[in-house]
Amino acid sequence: MWWGRENTHMGWYFEKRYCQRILLGKGKRKMKILLISLKRNFANVAAASGRPWKDITVAAIREVSQGEKRVAITPQAAESLIKKGIRVVIERGAGVSASFNDDLYQKVGVNVVDKDTAYQSDIIFKVRVPTLEECAKFRPKSTLLSFIYPAQNKNVIDELAKRELTVFGMDCVPRISRAQVYDVLSSMANISGYKAVIEAANHFGRFFTGQITAAGRVPPAKILVIGGGVAGLSSIGTAKGMGAIVRGFDTRSAVKEQVESLGAEFLEIQIKEEGEGIGGYAKEMSKEFIEKEMELFSQQCKEVDIIISTALIPGKPAPRLITKEMIATMKPGSVIVDLAAEAGGNIETTRPGQCYTNSNGVIHIGYTDLPSRLPTQSSPKEQFNVDLNDEVVRGTIVLHQGRMMWPPPVISSPPPSPTLAKKIEEKAVVEVPLSPLQQTFKSAAIYTAGNLNFS
């Protein structure tokens, strides 16, 4: 179960003023973390005895997905929770792959426990979607914070609902400015975009940047990035910083300015169709648009050295953008990185989870665990207080005490203030009278212009 004002028999609730934003990592890139602060509810002590903070247990369990190296709670995050009086446990060896051994957790006061004990905690943090076997281990009416992807994992949701869990999908955070601090999905996409360029550079046979040496001229690498979301912009910025010629494409016209601000060329087609969908994501395009889009990609495949594709549509398979016929026209030694591999891939020849070279010499990278390949950077997670009236929290919650809460209601943008619009209009029509000096200059300019001879 989750702890809210309506659950007075448990005697707990969350208050916004107890949330703190913690910046982790001295000398490293700082990750924003919003840690849960629990406060005992004394409002209904007569009805039920509340539980003190020290009786609340938060746990991070070891990930079982193949190749997953991340851990949901770092020692720094655990230390912040412990200072609030919350008991934190971690499954033995859960952080080893992320370079956080058990000793680091024990030094800050975390109890290292076995798997069964960790699963009996009040709140459990995970990274990957739980398997059906893991679902059976969760304590009934407990709380889970994890990536969930409810549209693709209905069997997992049904199993968790049977156990009356409250589930928060960290992939469901709404795309609004106020929610950016909680947006784990964007954080992981940023890491994926960076790592995609690093993987491409590792497999590419020459420099990204152009060079002129005594031995001759080395042309810069040409890179096409498909998709201008968080991952795409991260790839563009990283590749441009390494000296490559970068081209970007997106169906949303609003992305053009962002791509060009990073120094890349924005590719466009001659059909005016807006690709902006709900929540800032791209939508499915018309048949005519897709045909022109495919013509563009076909031409680009003949020119570029590296393609990084990031196009995704929420709740649906990834759109197929690059065909095997296009791949056949690419130069030997070219590299493609498909960040949509886990959702089926944007490239027809992608093999999810694999890296291979086809018969034409084109290197295919279809890794589905790029954030996990930077586990120390990508392990810290964002957590937040629970208030179902909060649009960010409401957009993230998938199950509440076993009751389906997804999909959330659509968040509508507030209309512009009529008072402000009226003030701007009034301000625009106000004429400021000229000063005597300005009137003199104006008269002099008129007389001078009248005496000019342009013949």
Q: For residue 242, report the phi and psi dihedrals to the nearest 5 degrees.
A: -90, 5
Does this model's pTM top 0.85? My answer is no
Residue 325 domain-assigned (yes or no): yes
Same domain? For 316 and 396 the reply is no
Report the CATH number at residue 332.
3.40.50.720
pLDDT of residue 286: 81
Same domain? For 135 and 270 the reply is no
Q: Are 341 and 353 in contact (CB under 8 A)?
A: yes
Same domain? For 346 and 387 the reply is no
CA distances from 253 to 259, 281, 312 (A): 10, 12, 17
Each residue's pLDDT expressed in tens, for the chain with a length of 455 residues: 333 333 333 333 333 333 333 333 333 333 333 333 333 332 332 333 356 777 789 999 999 988 889 999 999 889 988 988 889 999 999 999 999 999 999 999 999 999 999 999 999 999 999 999 999 999 999 999 998 888 888 999 999 999 999 898 888 877 776 666 667 778 888 999 999 999 999 999 889 998 888 888 889 999 999 999 999 999 999 999 999 999 999 988 889 999 999 999 999 988 777 766 655 566 678 888 889 999 999 999 999 999 999 998 877 888 999 999 999 999 999 999 999 998 899 999 999 999 999 999 999 999 998 988 988 888 754 443 344 555 666 666 777 666 676 666 665 555 555 555 555 555 555 556 666 666 665 565 554 444 444 44
| 150 token code pair | 């409810």
pLDDT of residue 267: 94
Residue 322 domain-assigned (yes or no): yes
Same domain? For 197 and 335 the reply is yes
Domain enclosing residue 88, as ranges: 53-171+380-404
Same domain? For 103 and 82 the reply is yes
Residue type, 210: G
SS (H, E, C) the chain: CCCCCCCCCCCEEECHHHCEEEEECCCCCCEEEEECCEEECCCCCCCCCCCCHHHCEEEECCCCCCCCCCCCCCHHHHHHHHHCCCEEEEECCCCHHHCCCHHHHHHCCCEEECHHHHCCCCEEECCCCCCHHHHCCCCCCCEEEECCCCCCCHHHHHHHHHCCCEEEECCCCCCCHHHHHHCHHHHHHHHHHHHHHHHHHHHCCCCCCCEEECCEEECCCEEEEECCCHHHHHHHHHHHHCCCEEEEECCCCCHHHHHHHCCCEECCCCCCCCCECHHHCECCCCHHHHHHHHHHHHHHHHHCCEEEECCCCCCCCCCCCECHHHHHCCCCCCEEEECCHHHCCCECCCCCCCEEECCCCCEEECCCCCHHHCHHHHCCCCCCCCCCCCHHHHHHEEEECCEECCCCCCCCCCCCCHHHHHHHHHHHHCCCCCCHHHHHHHHHHHHHHHHCCCC
Same domain? For 367 and 277 the reply is yes
Same domain? For 384 and 371 the reply is no
Residue 12 domain-assigned (yes or no): no
Q: How many domains does the chain have?
A: 2
**Active site residues per annotation:** 175, 180, 183, 186, 281
Residue 63 domain-assigned (yes or no): yes
pLDDT of residue 3: 38
Residue 254 domain-assigned (yes or no): yes
pLDDT of residue 317: 86
Same domain? For 368 and 384 the reply is no
Same domain? For 294 and 398 the reply is no
Residue 226 domain-assigned (yes or no): yes
User: Which residues, listed in sequence order, are joined to residue 336 by a DSSP beta bridge?
Assistant: 307, 364
Cis before 407? omega within 30: yes
Residue 281 domain-assigned (yes or no): yes
Q: Are 375 and 97 in contact (CB under 8 A)?
A: yes
Same domain? For 265 and 350 the reply is yes
Same domain? For 217 and 280 the reply is yes
Q: Are 142 and 58 in contact (CB under 8 A)?
A: no
User: Which residues, listed in sequence order, are joined to residue 87 by a DSSP beta bridge?
Assistant: 57
Residue at which a domain ends, from 360, 375, 390: 375
Residue 121 domain-assigned (yes or no): yes
Same domain? For 355 and 385 the reply is no
